[in-house]
Structure 1
Amino acid sequence: MLNCELNFNLWIYNRWGQLIYTGSDGWDGLVNGGNALPGTYTFLMQYSFPLDGEMQTVEKRGSFTLIM
């Protein structure tokens, strides 16, 4: 169980670098109301949390392959 406040943001881009999702919840795999096409996507995840009285921010970048 997490005992501190955690702020989370997620950005997902298609293979052409277009932003297809941004939010603070998990991505549901939809793009413009329809299922995303199989393929490779990139992401930027950023989260912040207090540590010893100071806010710490961590960024993670990577890619994933969506298959159906």
Structure 2
Amino acid sequence: MNDLPPWIGGVTVGMMFLATGVIITYTLVPLPGQESLGGWNYVIALAIFVINIRLRRMVRMVARRIDVLRQVSRRQA
């Protein structure tokens, strides 16, 4: 499991900050054009958060499958 790509941590943190930034700018300091979205700002923030979770799970799943394939190939060799 230590073979995760180094960029996944940066993407995860960046997406968390992006989702938090959408909520903060909508509630505290609305940006021009953001007020017209209304409640959709919360949906956008939730979508970013869910995509972030799905991305991390997908990367971990792929990494686990690669680890299993490596173990199987070592046993056969």
Q: Is TM-score (shorter-chain normalized) higher than 0.5?
A: no
Larger radius of gyration: 2
User: Which of the pair has the greater relative contact order for Cα pairs under 8 Å at 6+ separation?
Assistant: 2
- Please state which structure has a larger fraction of its residues in helix: 2
- Please state which structure has a larger fraction of its residues in strand: 1
What TM-score does the superposition give when structure 2 sets the normalisation length? Answer: 0.24
